[in-house]
């Protein structure tokens, strides 16, 4: 009986100790061991809420930034959308003769691509015919007489040269040749271009007409009345005066 009572008493003491440990809690409700003087859970929470110097600097900088709703100002160096003008560029205007100061001495007319026809001026000096740029020229400018829609016309197809009333035409080593009144021209060999001649470059058929420009008349500058340069007559000078 003494042995049984001792074992039962020891078991009851252990259970009471377990129940006491399980029921021990800190003021915040964390389970506590009787041997603990301070709750480790509360200490960990307090440390986790403290911010490091790096975190404090990051939070301060983020507080200065604001999200703005509205029109975004353009940034330097960024791409911008620009509205293209309907006006032709300087290169396209020069191809059709605008801005030229050379005198017109002939015209080329074709009905190959438009039913109403197309007319191109032929000026003193060089007149390049082609579908693109003049690669024999250092500036690689556009041809003066240009038909981009003609797929059989070379970029620099032929050349009409007008000097001192003499008109010549020359093939510029084109792929499909230049024809004058039905005859194919040799490359880089000029031939006289007569009035009302028929020229074919690629699939474009031309009619050429000479124009004789009027004689240039030197215009004397007109001196306005009352200017200091107006010569005054001498009352005593009767030379050159006719009296009837």
Task: Please give the C-alpha separations between residue 126 and each of 98, 153, 158, 181, 199, in angstroms, as whole numbers.
Answer: 16, 18, 10, 21, 17
pTM for this entry: 0.51
Q: Which domain holds residue 11?
A: 1-45
CA distance 183 to 238: 72
pLDDT mean by block of 10 residues, the chain; 244 residues: 62 60 70 75 75 65 56 57 49 52 95 96 96 87 94 96 95 96 94 97 97 76 62 52 48
The CATH number of the domain holding residue 203 is 2.60.200.20
Q: What is the pLDDT of residues 137-156, one digit of tens each?
A: 887 889 999 999 999 999 99
CA distance 21 to 39: 14
SS3 call for 178: strand
Helical (H) or strand (E) element with 44? helix 40-49
The residues with which 224 forms a beta bridge, in sequence order, are none
* 102 and 15 part of one domain: no
Mean pLDDT (the chain) is 77
Q: How many domains does the chain have?
A: 2
CA distance 170 to 57: 79
Domain membership of residue 243 (yes or no) is no
* 41 and 107 part of one domain: no
CA distance 19 to 23: 6
């Amino acid at each position: 009986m003494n042995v049984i009572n001792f074992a039962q008493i020891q078991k009851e003491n252990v259970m009471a100790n377990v129940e006491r440990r399980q029921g021990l809690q800190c003021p915040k409700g964390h389970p506590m061991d009787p041997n603990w003087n301070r709750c480790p859970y509360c200490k960990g929470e307090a440390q986790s809420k403290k911010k490091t110097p790096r975190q404090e600097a990051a939070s301060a900088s983020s507080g200065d930034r604001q999200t703005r709703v509205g029109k975004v100002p353009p940034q330097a160096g960024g791409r911008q959308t620009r509205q293209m003008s309907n006006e032709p560029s300087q290169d396209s205007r020069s191809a059709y003769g605008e801005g030229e100061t050379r005198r017109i001495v002939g015209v080329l007319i074709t009905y190959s691509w438009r039913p109403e026809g197309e007319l191109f001026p032929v000026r003193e000096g060089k007149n390049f015919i082609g579908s693109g740029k003049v690669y024999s020229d250092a500036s690689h400018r556009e041809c003066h007489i240009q038909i981009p829609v003609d797929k059989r016309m070379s970029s620099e197809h032929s050349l009409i040269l007008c000097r001192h009333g003499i008109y010549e035409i020359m093939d510029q080593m084109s792929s499909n040749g230049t024809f004058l009144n039905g005859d194919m021209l040799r490359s880089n060999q000029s031939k006289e271009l007569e009035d009302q001649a028929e020229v074919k470059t690629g699939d474009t058929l031309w009619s050429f007409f000479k124009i004789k420009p009027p004689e240039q008349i030197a215009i004397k500058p007109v001196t306005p009345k009352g200017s200091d340069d107006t010569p005054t007559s001498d009352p005593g000078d009767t030379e050159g005066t006719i009296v009837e």
